[in-house]
Amino acid sequence: MFSPKFRYTNNLVRLLTKISASREVILNSPLIPKWEVTLRREAIIHSAHSSTSIEGNRLSLEQVSDLVHGREVMATRKDKQEVLNYLGVLENIGKLVKDTSISENDILSIHSMVTKDALDNPQDCGAYRNRYVVVANGITGEVIFRPPKNEAVPRLINDLLKWINSSEAKELDPIIEAGITHYEFVRIHPFIDGNGRTARILAALVLYMRGFDTKQFFCLDDYYDSDRLAYYSALQSVNQKILDLTLWLEYFVEGVNISIGTVKERVIRLSSERLRKTQKGQIALTERQMRIVEFINQNGKVTNKDIRKMFNLSDEGALKEIKKLVRLEVIENKGKGRALHYVIK
């Protein structure tokens, strides 16, 4: 059976402690449902953009957002399909597994959903590779990694799944389990294409099933995409003879720390003390109103012109949004004439 090798370094322990503290802040913040929906939607959009971008998809973050909202996007069918597939999987992550454990059929199903109508050979969708592949540098052609032989794939995947579903894995921190799962899946490289996307979905699924990110607030894929060379270098840092995952896990856990830290700061802004307690209790804001509040928290104030630019509104439309927030006693006006602006009350 698969048995991962790694060491709990001082750095790993420090990062896990920081992550735990950030997670507590997020879980204990007085977020209203509309804010939670917004955070989740933004994380899924960013994940879909970054994870597909790593593997060559050319859609911008704005185009991915347009796809989510049903707007027309000028791009190749394949690029759009890859993003829509990834979005669909993330939006239904709670339904990917029918039981409390992950099965081989679940893995094949996830790959099928990730690559549907996006592979040159449709028969490769949801099926283990039947021809050998290597991982090569897209520019130089240099072979970076040689995965196990085709015939070894089913056994290696089943060994990995036995470990994922074992009590040994469940005794580990969910982040460590997710990091190990991510690496070992990429090492096995079970499919002709879509291995990276499937590995990242699988890691997210482990975190979801272990109760770490049930609200899907943070996006780890942005971390990988921000420095792809560092991502590939971390994957290649594992010595294939001894398979010590310590360096890879330090990289992976640092990514979780950065990603969840970003969410924590956003949550703190949204849950500012001025908005927590009112005589009427929590104030339910629309998504547009939340963006205005966040703009003020980031910039100290907002003007009518700022709101017009944010939402492409007329002067009258921007004024309506301002009046709503004033009536709710969320903001108040300061200054006069051209100096008129609004701040959190």
Instruction: Look up residue 125 and give its two tokens.
Output: 């969708």
- The whole-angstrom separation of Cα 104 and Cα 98 is 12
- The whole-angstrom separation of Cα 116 and Cα 253 is 31
- The whole-angstrom separation of Cα 138 and Cα 114 is 22
- Alpha helices, DSSP H only, in 92-152? 104-115
Class of the CATH domain delimited by 10-270: mainly alpha
Q: What is the pLDDT of residues 287-318, one digit of tens each?
A: 788 888 878 866 778 999 999 999 999 999 99
Parse the chain into domains and list their residue ranges.
Answer: 10-270, 274-344
Report the run of H or E that residue 143 belongs to, with start and end: strand 143-145
Lowest mean pLDDT among 78-82, 135-139, 198-202: 135-139
- The whole-angstrom separation of Cα 209 and Cα 147 is 28
- The whole-angstrom separation of Cα 51 and Cα 82 is 10
Give the contacts of 322 (CB within 8 A, at least 6 positions apart). 304, 307, 331, 342
Please report which confidence band the pLDDT of residue 279 belongs to, taking 50, 70 and 90 as the band edges: very low
Q: What is the pLDDT of residues 141-191, one digit of tens each?
A: 777 788 999 999 999 999 999 999 999 999 999 999 999 999 999 999 999
- Alpha helices, DSSP H only, in the chain? 10-27, 33-54, 61-68, 77-91, 104-115, 153-164, 167-170, 174-188, 195-209, 221-226, 228-236, 246-270, 273-276, 287-299, 304-311, 315-327
Q: What is the DSSP letter of 94?
A: G
Kindly list the distances between the CA atom of residue 171 and the CA atoms of 22, 128, 174, in Å, as whole numbers in the listed order. Answer: 21, 30, 9
Say how many Å lie between the first and final Cα of the chain, rounded. Answer: 60
- Angle subtended by helix axes 195-209 and 174-188, to nearest 10: 160
Please, are residues 88 and 258 in contact by the beta-carbon 8 Å criterion?
no
pLDDT exceeds cutoff 60 at 281:
no
Query: pTM of the predicted model, to two decimals?
Result: 0.79
The fold of the 274-344 domain, in CATH, is Arc Repressor Mutant, subunit A (1.10.10)
pLDDT exceeds cutoff 70 at 223:
yes
